């Protein structure tokens, strides 16, 4: 078979133009292409070709390797890596949002309860601490939303509010019903 025999019909004119425009200066040519077998099946191939001279005649030697299966496996591996990274990002984002933010929110609420017993000279420093907790909470929320935009896909609003209320009732002094 010739090189144009293995080209898919829609690529033949493009292939002929490329051959016509070939200057002959490059001795080695390589690349990945789509070839069509005698049965009409399309396969992905890697072509490595070189010009050789024998008995004062120039020949084109080509090694063509079917890489269809290799490319398919590469795509599967890439998809698996991306899926793993997405799952990891979701887990980190959910952990930040569901745990660290809740700890900070509970701390902020507890500080609100403690605020009545803070000496007036220390109140400015106390308020600054509450402000830092608010800032940290907001930063973690922003980060967790960028990592995993939807946190409550697998839970209901009622469950999320119950967890929040429970974390606000640290000392179990209050009976909270939802």
Percent of the chain residues topping a pLDDT of 90: 22
pLDDT of residue 99: 87
> Which parts of 96-156 fold into alpha helices (H)?
101-114, 123-147
pTM of the model: 0.54
**178 against 100, higher pLDDT:** 100
Question: Pairing mode, if any, of strands 42-54 and 28-36?
Answer: antiparallel
Q: Is the pLDDT reported for residue 65 higher than 70?
A: yes
Q: Is the pLDDT reported for residue 132 higher than 90?
A: yes
Q: Is the pLDDT reported for residue 64 higher than 50?
A: yes
How would residue 9 be classed by pLDDT, with cut points 50, 70 and 90?
A: confident
Q: Is the pLDDT reported for residue 97 higher than 70?
A: yes
Q: What is the b/e burial string over 78-105, where b = at least 16 CB atoms within 10 angstroms of the residue's CB?
A: eeeeeeeeeeeebeebbebbeebbbebb
- The rounded mean pLDDT for the chain is 84
d(CA 128, CA 103): 18
Q: Is the pLDDT reported for residue 68 higher than 90?
A: yes
pLDDT of residue 176: 77
pLDDT of residue 150: 55
Whether 147 contacts 93, CB under 8 Å: yes
């Amino acid at each position: 078979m010739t090189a144009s025999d293995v080209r898919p019909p829609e690529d033949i004119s493009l292939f002929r133009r490329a051959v016509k425009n070939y200057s002959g200066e490059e001795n080695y040519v390589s690349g990945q292409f789509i070839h069509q077998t005698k049965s009409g099946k399309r396969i992905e191939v890697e072509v490595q070709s070189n010009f050789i001279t024998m008995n004062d005649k120039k020949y084109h030697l080509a090694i063509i390797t079917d890489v269809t299966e290799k490319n398919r496996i590469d795509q599967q591996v890439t998809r698996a890596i991306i899926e793993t990274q997405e799952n990891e990002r979701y887990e980190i984002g959910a952990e930040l949002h569901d745990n660290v933010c809740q700890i900070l929110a509970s701390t902020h609420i507890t500080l609100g309860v403690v605020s009545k017993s803070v000496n007036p000279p220390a109140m400015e420093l106390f308020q600054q601490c509450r402000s830092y907790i608010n800032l940290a909470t907001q930063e973690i929320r922003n980060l967790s939303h960028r990592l995993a935009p939807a946190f409550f896909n697998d839970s209901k609003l009622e469950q999320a509010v119950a967890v929040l209320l429970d974390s606000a009732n640290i000392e179990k002094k209050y009976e909270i019903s939802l």
